[in-house]
Amino acid sequence: MITEQNLLDFMRETAYKPMTYQELEQHFTFEDASEFKTFLQMLNQLEEEGKILRSRTERYGVPERMNLLRGRIQAHAKGFAFLLPDEKDHPDVYIHANDLKSAMNGDTVLVRVTSQSEGGGRMEGEVVRVVQRAVTQVVGTFENHEAFGFVMPDDKRINRDLFIPKEGFMGAVTGQKVVARIVAYPEGRSAAQGEIIEIIGHKDDPGVDILSIIRKHQLPEGFPDDVMAEAEAAPDSISEEEIVQQGRRDLRGKTIVTIDGEDAKDLDDAVNVERLENGNYLLGVHIADVGYYVRENSALDQEAFRRGTSVYLVDRVIPMLPHRLSNGICSLNPQVDRLTLSCEMEFDPNTLKRVRHDVFTSVIKTAERMTYANVRKILEEDEPEAPVSSESAAPVGEEGAGSRAAGVKLRTSEEDLDNLIAWDEQWQSGYDPEAERERELEKQRQRQERREEKARLLERYATLVPTFKLMEELAMKLRRNRMKRGAIDFDFQESKIVVDEQGKAVGIVKRERSIAEQIIEEFMLAANETVAEHFHWLRVPFLYRIHENPDSEKLLHFLQFAANFGYVVKGKGNSVHPRALQTLLEEIRGTKEETVISTMMLRSMKQAKYDAESLGHFGLAAEFYSHFTSPIRRYPDLVIHRVIREVLEGGGALSERRQEALQARMPDIAQHSSERERVAVDAERDTEQLKKCEYMLDKVGEEFSGMISSVTSFGIFVELENTVEGLIRLSDLNDDYYHFSEQHMVLIGERTSKVYRIGDEVKIRVARVNMDDHTIDFEMVDTKPRSGYKGVADAGFGGARSKSGRGGYGRAGREGAGRSGAGAAVGRRGAAGGRAAGAPAGAGGRGAKRKGGAAGSAAAQPQREGRGPGRAGAGGRGGNDQRGGQTAGGEAKGRRGEGVRTDMWGLPVRQSRSGGGSWSSADEGHEGGNAGGEGPNRENPWYSVPARSARKKTSDSGIFNGEGGSRRGGGGGKKKKGGNSTAAFVRKKRK
């Protein structure tokens, strides 16, 4: 009998020409009428799903052979959309708002490609047909206009209101949150039409906000009656007969524990570690055997498939399985027998190579239900005693701590200077030594309480402490081994929103990632990799967790972004090994830019997903990876648990019929599970953003310190200490006109030359909180550039960083910086960059003095106090003592340390050879930098790549490159009287 896959493969053959159903009948030769009838039904079903098309001449073919693409619509709030094709290797297709027809976000459609760029990169298309509707109902706020009404959707990707005729009101009034079913979809300029099917409540009522998000994402709440009936039928305990009958390995004599959060109730994983007689580690990971109780195709299984995953909202959990199972017989509660699937792994203590592993069914009895907090307290090192005295409580310079009052001469070394300045700032701000002493005493009391708490825990869990120490030892070795092979470890700051009984946000606390969390993380990763590899080589149908290599264009954009901070990531061609990215994460750890670069790196990568084929995991640098450890809350884990038990019971293989059945179903399960995971993540983000806005609602007008997390063409995003993020709009920066440099991700003031860039510390005021859009607006109060930052050129753009002070345009130190390069600036101001920069070879920076001039330069010119003769060989504004274009002409020979030309705000200039002896860093192979570091052609190959944009960027403007403000090579034209480069730049922008 012909299958769906056989038919599709036949139609995709190169020699195939569209056939009628009669011609297909002749080709496949059916045995009887019933088989032919089944074939016609399959044809109709495939046509409805958009997998095949029927032409006007009644001929069938696949869309890709008819210049059409099948895929899913991803809409944007501004009206346009992208098609995400079903073909894995096909690029996304841009669809203009006018070409969407009636398609909405999430719909499965057929699209015709209308144009594409050279090389087949960017494609544009139009929707030909909507195959399947994803949006059938809309959640929003109702507005009554007497004769008719509108529902304003909460989902901003639905950018047109839903028209409701009077007969469809169902009693709703203005301001209520409602659920409306779409009756007619939008066509042309006409809006979609619907009818109200549920009134959730008024938008300001407690709890309505979360319910609206639940309805918006169509998340299920209760379980159907047949599902609950099956759950209630599950036993409360297991019998010895069950254990013996199933042939499970008895591990109840081992010391096995669960380690979870304080409020966790579904305990689905337990661990144990032993040191064997041969010195090797034996790690056991034991996972609740949920598949034993949730049988395939049962009502429980079908409901779990529909849900796909548990959803963890701010104030509630929407579970995948009923609590009767997840918190009962499937939860590995302490001191009770539980059925499990176990994975035991033996590791060599020196190489951490896995020398043996085994996957089997088992029964365990956990010794303790441990929490992350208690394990952390047991394992953390004792804090050193910090004696408090009247002298130690005062900073350097205070009386009693080596001060003038004691007759001691003040130390004026460089390291003490900062302490004295800090002390002076504290004194000016009303520093109180007595209050400081009280704070120190309070800290001492807290340390004592922690020591007492640890002593109590050590006494209570005395028999388990050696096990926890061994767990820590093995986990840290596994982690080092994983980092060594190139796994990328993002360490983002996570937060938990605290709500009261009414669901109102009352606090935001940061979540710690302590040693306890790392232990469980490493053990679960080891088990997931082991299980994936084991069943991959058995060649049985399986579900894998894959993470494909990053898109080369997005990766290139990220590498350019990292280069702005002076970091260079090594790679070959367009590919980068994850080890190089992990090295970058280690370099930035503890710096101001850590969060920002980590976030941009994450955005440059593809999303992890489920797949029926093992394609590797880029982020973990793992060849094989699966999700095995959470069957209570993830459906893919439940599926592979069933496969594992079937293989174990079948002697290591599946029957041919079962193999084919699973092989056909796995791709659908993988795709559905990935989609449900995305829905869950979106719902969790929506509720978190909602509650963060609610928390900040009564803080309008208050001031906070934060860090610039993103810079865009329309404003600055600032993240506060409590992880709340808000936007400072460009229109609210009223001290200057600011222009966005896309290449360097900065905003630059055209009059003040003030620069806002990612990582800057700022002080903001909460201006507005919009509870409808869930957005927060800030106002700028004050800014503090990163670590003495004086401009873009001081930020490290353009070169690699190193401890020796080399690296493009970065600061190389406070005094005598740039020690490693000919022409390194000498003197206190030698390499600070920006206005006070010492002159690199061939030119003195703006405001540079003689003592900050370049050493060892053939082209250096004498300077007076004030503005020097330009930047890096280019005649500067108001420069003096220049000789006929010698410094601006072709005399810059590209020797190391001769400096890189920058524009009026310190941005490094990209120039091309344009006659007249003009200077070009790219053509001459110039190795510039105030610190004598490598230039753009060596350590920063990304620097010379132009930013991709249709409109002109600030860094590409002729004014930024010195036109109209300095003499060009060969003694170029005179500067116009009264000319102003900034004014010329503004005129260009306005044109």
Per-residue pLDDT reduced to its tens digit, 370-407: 999 999 999 987 655 544 443 333 333 333 333 333 33
CATH number at residue 727: 2.40.50.140
Residue where a domain stops, chosen among 15, 43, 63: 63
Strand partners, 95: 81, 125
Q: Quick one: pLDDT at residue 848? A: 37
Q: Is position 967 within any domain?
A: no
In this structure, the answer to whether residues 564 and 637 fall within a common structural domain is yes
List Cβ neighbours of 314 (8 Å cut-off, separation of 6 or more).
210, 497, 499, 505, 687, 688, 690, 691
Those residues of the chain that have pLDDT short of 50 are 386-412, 786-899, 904-905, 909-991
Say if residues 366 and 331 touch (Cβ distance below 8 Å): no
* CA neighbor of 681 nearest in space, from 310, 960, 941, 389: 310
Say if residues 58 and 47 touch (Cβ distance below 8 Å): no
Q: Quick one: pLDDT at residue 628? A: 95
Q: Is position 71 within any domain?
A: no
Cα distances (Å, whole numbers) of residue 606 to 119, 176, 528, 547, 617 = 22, 39, 20, 7, 11
In the numeric block, the tokens 């001691």 are attached to 408
Question: How many angstroms separate the CA atoms of 723 and 717, rounded?
Answer: 12
Residue ranges making up the domain that contains 44: 4-63
In this structure, the answer to whether residues 773 and 657 fall within a common structural domain is no
Question: How many angstroms separate the CA atoms of 233 and 903, rounded?
Answer: 75
Q: Quick one: pLDDT at residue 402? A: 36
**CA–CA–CA angle 510, 511, 512 (5° rounding):** 115
* CA neighbor of 531 nearest in space, from 628, 616, 429, 421: 628
How does DSSP classify residue 871?
B
The tokens of 190 are what?
């006409």
Q: Is position 514 within any domain?
A: yes
Say if residues 183 and 189 touch (Cβ distance below 8 Å): no
In this structure, the answer to whether residues 521 and 588 fall within a common structural domain is yes
What does the H/E/C string look like for 924-973? HCCCCCCCCCCCCCCCCCCCCCCCCCCCCCHHHCCCCCCCCCCCCCCCCC
In this structure, the answer to whether residues 560 and 580 fall within a common structural domain is yes
Q: Quick one: pLDDT at residue 40? A: 85
- Sign of the C-alpha dihedral, residues 57, 60, 64, 70? positive
In this structure, the answer to whether residues 564 and 614 fall within a common structural domain is yes
* CA neighbor of 676 nearest in space, from 354, 404, 368, 310: 310
In this structure, the answer to whether residues 617 and 671 fall within a common structural domain is yes
In the numeric block, the tokens 């550039």 are attached to 785
Say if residues 588 and 558 touch (Cβ distance below 8 Å): no
Question: How many angstroms separate the CA atoms of 920 and 925, rounded?
Answer: 8
- Please report, for the chain, how many H helices and E strands are present, in that order: 20, 33
Question: How many angstroms separate the CA atoms of 331 and 239, rounded?
Answer: 16
In this structure, the answer to whether residues 528 and 598 fall within a common structural domain is yes
Phi, psi of 783 (to 5 degrees): -135, 150
How does DSSP classify residue 167?
G
How many angstroms separate the most distant Cα atoms in the chain? 112
Q: Is 434 left (phi over 0), alpha (psi -120 to 50) or beta?
A: alpha
Our count of domains for the chain comes to: 3
Residue where a domain stops, chosen among 728, 760, 783: 783
Q: Is position 304 within any domain?
A: no
Q: Is position 318 within any domain?
A: no
Q: Strands 337-347 and 505-511: what pairing? A: unpaired
The tokens of 193 are what?
């039409």
How does DSSP classify residue 65?
G
Question: How many angstroms separate the CA atoms of 957 and 743, rounded?
Answer: 13
List Cβ neighbours of 132 (8 Å cut-off, separation of 6 or more).
49, 50, 107, 108
Residue where a domain stops, chosen among 783, 800, 833: 783
Question: How many angstroms separate the CA atoms of 883 and 904, rounded?
Answer: 22
In this structure, the answer to whether residues 736 and 628 fall within a common structural domain is no
Q: Is position 599 within any domain?
A: yes
In this structure, the answer to whether residues 762 and 638 fall within a common structural domain is no
Q: Quick one: pLDDT at residue 500? A: 87
Q: Quick one: pLDDT at residue 1? A: 64
The tokens of 718 are what?
């600032």
Question: How many angstroms separate the CA atoms of 891 and 910, rounded?
Answer: 18
Cα distances (Å, whole numbers) of residue 972 to 680, 799, 884, 966, 968 = 63, 30, 9, 9, 5
Q: Is position 875 within any domain?
A: no
Say if residues 496 and 261 touch (Cβ distance below 8 Å): no
Q: Strands 715-720 and 725-729: what pairing? A: antiparallel
Cα distances (Å, whole numbers) of residue 484 to 477, 583, 617, 620, 938 = 10, 10, 16, 11, 26
Q: Is position 272 within any domain?
A: no
CATH number at residue 40: 1.10.10.10
In this structure, the answer to whether residues 623 and 768 fall within a common structural domain is no
Residue 10's identity, in one-letter code, is: F
List Cβ neighbours of 214 (8 Å cut-off, separation of 6 or more).
221, 313, 318, 683
In the numeric block, the tokens 């999700």 are attached to 627
The tokens of 683 are what?
């719902």
In this structure, the answer to whether residues 658 and 517 fall within a common structural domain is yes
- Number of Cα atoms under 13 Å in the Cβ half of residue 649: 15
Question: How many angstroms separate the CA atoms of 767 and 719, rounded?
Answer: 15
* CA neighbor of 63 nearest in space, from 131, 119, 6: 131
In this structure, the answer to whether residues 721 and 775 fall within a common structural domain is yes
Question: How many angstroms separate the CA atoms of 46 and 60, rounded?
Answer: 10
Question: How many angstroms separate the CA atoms of 629 and 266, rounded?
Answer: 12
